[in-house]
Structure 1
Amino acid sequence: MKIIYETRRRIKKSFFLSWLVVLASLQVFAHTGTLNGFVYDQDTRVPLKGATVTIEKLGISTITNTLGEFKIRNLDPGNYSLSVTYVGFELMQKSFTIRDGESTLLDVLMKSGTVELSEVSVQAPMAHAQQTISQIDINVRPIQNSQEVLRIVPGLFIGQHAGGGKAEQIFLRGFDIDHGTDINISADGMPVNMVSHAHGQGYADLHFIIPELIDRVDFKKGPYTVDKGDFATAGWVDFRTRDVLDRSFVKAEVGQFDTYRAVGALDLLSAAKKEKGESAYVAGEYNFSNSYFDSPQHFKRINGLAKYNIRIKERSYLTASLSHFWSKWNHSGQIPDRAVAAGLISHYGAIDDTEGGLTSRTNANLQLTTQTPGGGLLKNQVYYSHYQFELYSNFTFFLNDPINGDQIRQKENRNLFGYNGSYTKTAYWGNTPAEFSAGVNYRQDLTDNTELSRTVNRTIVTDPLQLGDINEASIGAFVSETFTFSNSLSLNAGLRYDYFQNKYDNLLSGTLGSVGAGIVSPKVNLYYTPFRNIQLYLNTGKGFHSNDVRVVVPQGGKDILPPGYGTDLGINWKPFPKLYINAAAWYLWLKQEFVYVGDEGVVEPSGRTVRQGIDLSVRYQIGRYLYFDTDVNVTNPRSVDEEVGMNYIPLAPRSTSTGGLTFRKPTGWNGSLRYRYMGDRPANEDNSIVAKGYFIADAQLNYTQKRYNLGLSILNIFNTEWKETQFATESRLKNETQPVEEIHFTAGSPFFARLALTYYLK
């Protein structure tokens, strides 16, 4: 009995003590409160994602989500002061009071202003979601044309070799990415990359974006972001166009070489509608240029966009958009060094001036962002694109067909549709916030009569090489957790799974094949801020790029999804209030590389590669309106499976740099002076043929008033003769008996001046 009594006594004591702990815990939380707020653009009432919210008194900070929302818990009762910063907006400070056990609601309206680097913070909380460099650059640098769009990404180079009509060739982190094989590009959540494209895997044509309507550009280098799947090996870029037009405008440009451009955007709803969260606008763009080549390019491009945005309830936004893009052009193609040296053609000449193309894309996009009753963030998106492409090229001239020449046609008609969905919610482990995210991506590509044929003068088909229908479906799912242990330490860990099903109906052979494969991609990202002005980070992850259906189906599914493994060790540092430095040492291993085959005009899979390098970005505010920036990138790209001396990766950049000075005021004179440098690089595997580097300087001068802006832009102010794209290609000219392998190039722009006038309607 004594034992039973003692046991009961201990149980009662333990029960009593447990209740004391619970009551004490409740008492602690009863004497704390929560700050819950939203940050908006004062002029447009658009929520500002990525604004930094700080309570200086406590040294606590966080950033806003897609809805502009922030939340800070467990604050002791009392009076506080809050500061909110966002690049391109004035510092906003607000006082608030926390009461026992209550939630304080706060709306913050931000006013547009100058960029102040002193207000840019280096911190750990939610660091994985921040894009500091992107925010600075998009607000400081004026974007004058579609080619400037991708150059916002530090270290990214582009090259145009089709008179402005074709997607640019992309270079990043020691990759010749061709037109998008190893970089994931999206626009308003829609994929830009085209899988199993007629011209090249991952082909990404961004010309359907009107540059003046870009709101922000998010990016990350390396395979470290869990919601990015196919092609996200060297990195990813996501362009966001404006949901709300702050004011209507018309713009006209005129330049050398018969260059003309007109742009207009019209706000359709009243200010009262915007106050209630409803907006709509339409925009259009027309381009024409004969360009600087000896053969007129007759380049034409038309863009149209209509966008509607509405707050359907207090914390729920619906965005719908329709856009159409059409372009047609001639181009001079790639020309051999020997033809220029012998005086057969000039630096801007052509061997086959019947090259050219036609392309179009129509997009429908619907996005719904909702805050759930439990405080989560739910995103749903459906999209559809109808895409057409027809390209005529001649890389080898008379190598294969001495009579008719080697012109080829690449053609496709594509329907693309898909769905993106995600759910995000922040929970708390004690005082440690943990943001959980999960999502799914679905995409289906259907093409009719994807073609590669030999042609003459764009009209006669001499030899059909490939013809077939493609049905490619992919589905990806991901989960991610971000722990913010303190203002000094945060950790993001994620896991992604993708599955691809590929079908190819070969219309020439009459065969139908189908293969499928899946891949798991883990990601881990660690951020540590030992001091207020220094943040260290370690990014590690696995990514992949898919291979062309026309390659993997005949091979029975071999190497459908070759993986890539990467690591970044970096630092964000503000040694002075107006100096921001980002530096990273990185490593990337790919199971399979791609090699350009000039005589067929296609890209084929090759072997394993490794790249390692150092990236450095510097942003410095010299004066209130004067900014300096530079990006320096050094890379050592090599093939793993080849012997030393034969293991160079053709056309992979080894050293690049961009930068300049920008003077930007709200009114009056503004301008920028910028440079681009790419060093010499191997054009073939043994480095016996070298693609020569270049240094180009551009300038921009504006005069801005409330109702208008007058601008002068000059490309290549020193009129340097340079080669924008280069390839080591074996070709034969009309009267040659033997083929020659050497550099074939497309000439870069000479001195090219354009004058633009923008008039604001209100």
Structure 2
Amino acid sequence: MKRLLSLSFFCLTIFSAANANHHYIKGVIKDEQTQLPLSFVTISVKETAKAAITDELGKFIFGDLKESTYTLVISSIGYMQQTVTLQSAEDEAQTVHLSLRRSYLALADVTVTANTLLHSTNTIGAIDMKLRPVRTSQDLLRCVPGLFIAQHAGGGKAEQIFLRGFDIDHGTDVNISVDGIPVNMVSHAHGQGYADLHFLIPETIEKLDFGKGPYYTGKGDFTTAGYVAFTTKDALDNNEVKLEAGNFSTMRALALLNIIPKQKRLKNPNQSAYIAAEYNYSNGPFTSPQYFNRYNVFAKYRTLIGKKNLLNISASDFGSKWNASGQIPERAVKQGLIGRFGSIDDSEGGSTGRTNINLQLKTQLNERTTLSQQLFYSNYRFELFSNFTFFLNDPVNGDEIRQYEKRNLGGYNMALQKKWALGNRDAESTWSAGSRYDATNGSRLSRAVKRMPLNEDYAWGNIRQLNSWVYWDNAIAITDKLQLNAGVRYDYFYFNYADLLRNAQAGKAHAGTLSPKLNLNYRLSNVLNLYVKTGKSFHSNDARVSVLQNGRQIAPAAYGFDIGADGKLGEHVFFNLAFWQLNLDQEFVYVGDEAIVEPGGKSRRRGIDFSLRTQIAKWLYADVDANYASPVLLNVPKNENRIPLAPRFSSMGGLSAKFSKGIEASLRYRWLPARPANETNTVRTRGYFVNDAVLRYSNNHWQYQLTIENLLNTDWNEAQFDTESRLRNEQEPVTELHYTPGVPFSIRVGVGYRF
């Protein structure tokens, strides 16, 4: 693969100067209602196999066009398709300015092009975002096909994530970002890659971008199973206030307000500003009330400086406090010591908060070259009380622990994108560099009793961590049907850890890693793409472990490939099918109550992903995702090679109805069968099949919604672990399944007003 990459880069370098193409069509696509530029709009040339996708400024360009008449077909999910006929002449540019009108989703308008190589699954994501009722940040994550989540600490802790045969814990193997700000926390007090997405207000999300595997040059640390990137709206369609209430004292209040009035903004669409605020409260179904409460505030300002500089400034603040019942042992429920929603230690829980400031500047240097820059800062607070083993280590006071940290996180990214011609073929290159710096003070793991910290620490120190990177990515149309993407990325890490517990001088470690990528996409027909993706990526180790190991295994590698297809079956069916494999040099297992990261050794995962979206009738849609994986540890006996909690099969899907009179309905399922809970498969989790339903009515101003979770009132376990524990009166410890019960049948109603 390295030789092929080197050859590709050499060819691209030799021909990159061949940019003297004078036959072209360019354009800008906007939303008719907001007059904001639309990204990821597909523009196809009917007379050829050429296609393009608009960038973040809504712009596109076609080169290498002979003097002739061309018909452009412009399509985007959720918008009416348009066609435009233009004449391309030598030394003359034809410019298209179009505004797309929103409409009901019609899968017949979804197009398949060779330019969607690294974004093929985003067609699936865009369809889902238009159809599914999204209520929480958890719902947003579930829009990624095959991604399952589990909450096991009272609603305020980051969710446990499962994807492609991984128990990702809280983010070790998936890269998550919002508007380019990293969500994953490195060297976190609770676990490497900890990704708390609760600062995100669902109604502010414009776009979901995701990819599976290690194939994306622009994505670095934690991009092994894949990445998830959210983009917030630049402007609101309307002001809105919303109230929701439901079982277990659950309530939610939301306000979305344009700072610049809509009429003024429509006259000057180059400037927009809004603020969003949200408050959540719930006691949950547990015997001990959770008293969970969370607030979110988000503001965003967008303006065009001159004619070529687009500036986005956003800021957010979020805070949360909660109690938790934690994981409970099966034997305690079977013996009648507690009920299914009871607890052994009801003093678990915690508090957390995050403040973000984000500046993004996009400069159009010329019609083919764009410079993007980003500067971001986060202040983060975290305190968590947990008790996994109850009275295993301390029969008198119990085993409760406190995990605590305060963090400042900042970074800068820049990317230069240039569209050019390789001979007579369109190409695009991206050169990028950036850095991220984390400064964590007083990262601590200590014992506690009923949330009262004891003067007994397992770990305590200050962490300074730097990750800097550069990358070069190239995409070229080898032919009208064949597209190549080749990239290479270099990441450098520097760790500094001052161990305050042992009063030692700061230890240091550093390392670098090179990640090549090579991907091919072939448009077999107007309705079918075939692709091959290959690449290397990595997940970084905790700084405290890396320093102790003198820099060994700072960024263990992941090597993967996908062979797949995406396309249409008839007018109204869109599908994606992929066969994949991923090999990791090192599995990481974080043992939170012992402040260590256990090396799990080499691993291999193979699997099949399948997604189907179909429009059964004008008003009725169906979707299904089915995912199979075979995850195993290598270099260990076969009877000890299972990867604990890694899903082997999972499926989700449902029906969505959209009627012309403002009525919408959705019926969904999630199916996660039993899986090994330990390496020997002697303890297995309990599988579950859960249904949810939503009914919504909207008119010009009002919206009414009914949400039913766990429609059939199934007893199901949300989070599950094989844990050794001891109850207060037990003489010997017991190893068995511990779990957090999933929510029972519950109803939530909501009313919203738009103005």
State the secondary structure of the residue aligned to 2:114: coil
* 2:265 equivalent in structure 1: 273
What RMSD in Å do the two structures reach over aligned CA positions?
A: 1.6
Aligned partner of 2:65 among 70, 75, 82: 75
1: CA distance, partners of 2:545 / 2:126: 40
**Which residue of 2 is the match for residue 346 of structure 1?**
339
| 2:402–2:453 Cα contact (<8 Å) kept | no
Out of 332-341 and 144-153, give the one that drifted further.
144-153
Report the residue type matching 2:253 in the other structure: A
Aligned-pair CA distance for 1:476: 0.8
Q: 1:651 aligns with which of 637, 641, 645?
A: 645
Q: Deviations over 1:180-220 (max 9, x none)?
A: 00000000000000000000000000000001111010000
**Are 2:489 and 1:499 aligned?**
no
| Map of 1:19 onto structure 2 | none
Cα distance in 2, alignment partners of residues 297 and 268 from structure 1: 35
Query: In structure 2, the residue corresponding to 1:622 is in which secondary structure?
Result: strand
- Within 5 Å, give how 1:528-539 maps onto structure 2: 528-539=522-533
AA partner of residue 427 (structure 2): A
Q: Deviations over 1:314-372 (max 9, x none)?
A: 23210001100000000000000000000000111100000010000000000001111
Displacement after TM superposition at 1:149 (Å)? 1.1
Which amino acid in structure 2 is aligned with residue 683 of structure 1?
A: A
Residue 442, structure 1, aligned to residue 435, structure 2: yes
- Report the CA distance between 1:666 and its aligned residue: 5.6
Match of 1:664 among 650, 658, 661: 658
Amino acid across the alignment from 2:135: Q
**Aligned with 2:374 (options 381, 385, 403):** 381
Instruction: Say if 2:84 is the partner of 1:94.
Output: yes
Shift of 1:48: 1.1
1:407, CA displacement in angstroms? 0.1
**Superposed displacement of residue 421, structure 1:** 0.8
Distance in 1 (CA, whole Å) between partners of 2:419 and 2:201 is 36
**2:36 equivalent to 1:46:** yes
Which residue is equivalent to 2:176? Answer: 185
Contact kept, 8 Å, 1:45 with 1:275, in 2: the verdict is no
Deviation at 1:558, TM superposition (A): 1.5
Contact map agreement 2:214 2:535 (CA 8 A) in 1: yes
Tell me the residue number matched to 2:191. 200
Q: Please list, as runs of the form range in 1=range in 2, the aligned pairs for 1:631-710 lying within 5 A after superposition.
A: 631-665=625-659, 667-710=661-704
Equivalent positions of 1:18-167 (< 5 A) are: 33-130=23-120, 131-167=122-158
Select 1:237's aligned residue among 216, 221, 228. 228
Distance between the aligned counterparts of 1:59 and 1:337, measured in 2? 60
Return the alpha-carbon distance in structure 1 between the equivalents of residues 373 and 627 of structure 2.
37
User: Residue type of the partner of 1:355?
Assistant: E
Q: 1:732 aligns with which of 721, 726, 729?
A: 726
**Aligned match of 2:247 in 256, 276, 287?**
256
Name the amino acid aligned to 1:122.
V
Deviation (angstroms), 1:602: 5.9
Q: Distance in 2 between matches of 1:601 and 1:701?
A: 46
Residue 476 of structure 1 aligns with which residue?
A: 469
**What's the secondary structure of 1:470's corresponding residue?**
strand
Measured in 1, the distance between the counterparts of 2:560 and 2:389 equals 37
Q: Which residue in 2 is equivalent to 1:460?
A: 453
- Higher mean alpha-carbon deviation, 319-328 vs 81-90, is at 81-90
Distance 1:253 1:576, change over 3 A: same
**What whole-Å deviation, never above 9, does each CA across 1:556-590 have from its counterpart, x for those lacking one?**
11211111101100011212111011010100000
Aligned match for 2:322, one of 299, 323, 329: 329
2:11 is aligned to none
Cα distance in 1 between the residues matched to 2:422 and 2:230: 34
Farther-moved stretch of structure 1 (628-637 vs 600-609): 600-609
CA contact (8 A) 1:608 1:639 kept: yes
Q: Quick check: 1:599–1:730 contact (8 Å CA) kept in 2?
A: no
Aligned length: 734
In structure 2, what is the Cα distance between the partners aligned to 1:611 and 1:666? 45
Larger deviation, residues 666-675 vs 385-394: 666-675
Match of residue 388 from structure 2: 395
The 3-state SS of whatever aligns with 1:682 is coil
| Contact 1:67 1:315 (8 Å CA) reproduced | no
Q: Distance in 2 between matches of 1:598 and 1:261?
A: 32
| Amino acid in structure 1 at the alignment position of 2:723 | T
Equivalent in the alignment of 1:9: none
Match of 1:553, SS state, is helix
Aligned with 1:561: secondary structure? coil
Identical-residue share of aligned pairs (%):
47
How far does residue 100 in structure 1 lie from its aligned partner after superposition?
Answer: 4.0
Q: Which amino acid aligns with 1:697?
A: N
Are the equivalent residues in 2 in contact too, given 1:670–1:701 (CA < 8 A)? Answer: yes
Structure 1 residue 462: Cα displacement: 4.5
C-alpha distance in 1 between matches for 2:590 and 2:724? 12
User: What is the deviation of 1:123?
Assistant: 1.6
Is contact 2:213-2:223 (8 Å) kept? yes
Could you tell me the TM-score, scaled by structure 2's length? 0.95
Does the aligned pair in 2 maintain the 1:90–1:112 contact within 8 Å? yes
Structure 1 residues not aligned, in runs of 5+: 1-24
For residues 473-513 of structure 1, the C-alpha deviation after alignment (integer angstroms, 9 at most, x for no partner) is 01011001111122310000000000000000000111210
Matched residue type, 2:666: S
Q: 1:3 matched to which residue of 2?
A: none
**Aligned partner letter, 1:404:** N
Does structure 2 conserve the Cα–Cα contact (< 8 Å) formed by 1:215 and 1:242?
Answer: yes
**1:636-689 CA distances to partner (integer Å, 9 max, x unpaired)?**
100002101111111110010000000124642111000000011101110000
Mapping of 1:614-625 within 5 angstroms? 614-625=608-619
Q: What SS does the aligned partner of 2:198 have?
A: coil
What is the distance in 2 between the residues matched to 1:598 and 1:286? 30
Q: Give distance in 2, aligned partners of 1:214 and 1:296.
A: 31
Contact 1:114 1:665 in 2 (8 A): no
Alignment-derived partner of residue 214 in structure 1: 205
Unaligned ranges ≥5, structure 2: 1-17
**What amino acid sits opposite 1:636 in the alignment?**
S
> Alpha-carbon deviations, 1:433-484, whole Å to 9, x = none?
1111110120000011000001001113152111100000010110011111
Q: CA offset at residue 60 of structure 1?
A: 2.8
Question: Which of 358, 364, 382 is the equivalent residue of 2:357?
Answer: 364
Amino acid at match of 1:386: N
Contact 1:683 1:691 in 2 (8 A): yes
- The residue number in structure 2 matching 1:416 is 409
Once superposed, which parts of structure 1, at least 4 consecutive aligned residues long, lie more than 6 Å away?
A: none
Asked whether the 8 Å contact 2:37–2:57 carries over to 1, the reply is yes
Q: Structure 1: which amino acid aligns with 2:184?
A: N
- Mean Cα deviation higher: 81-90 or 463-472: 81-90
- Structure 2 distance, partners of 1:470, 1:215, is 35
Q: Indicate how the Cα distance of structure 1 residues 599 and 340 shifts in structure 2: closer, same or farther if over 3 A, else same.
A: farther
- Work out whether 1:406 is the aligned partner of 2:396: no
The answer for the alignment partner of 2:14 in structure 1 is none
- Residues 602 and 727 of structure 1: CA distance in aligned 2, closer, same or farther (over 3 Å): farther
Distance 1:598 1:551, change over 3 A: closer
DSSP-derived class of the 1:403 partner: coil
**Corresponding residue for residue 13 of structure 2:** none
Q: Does structure 1 retain, via aligned residues, the 8 Å contact 2:545–2:596? A: no
Alpha-carbon contact 2:62-2:426 (below 8 Å) kept: no
User: Could you tell me which residue of structure 2 aligns to residue 742 of structure 1?
Assistant: 736
Counterparts of 2:594 and 2:64, CA distance in 1: 65
Query: Do 2:585 and 2:603's aligned partners in 1 also have CA atoms closer than 8 Å?
Result: yes
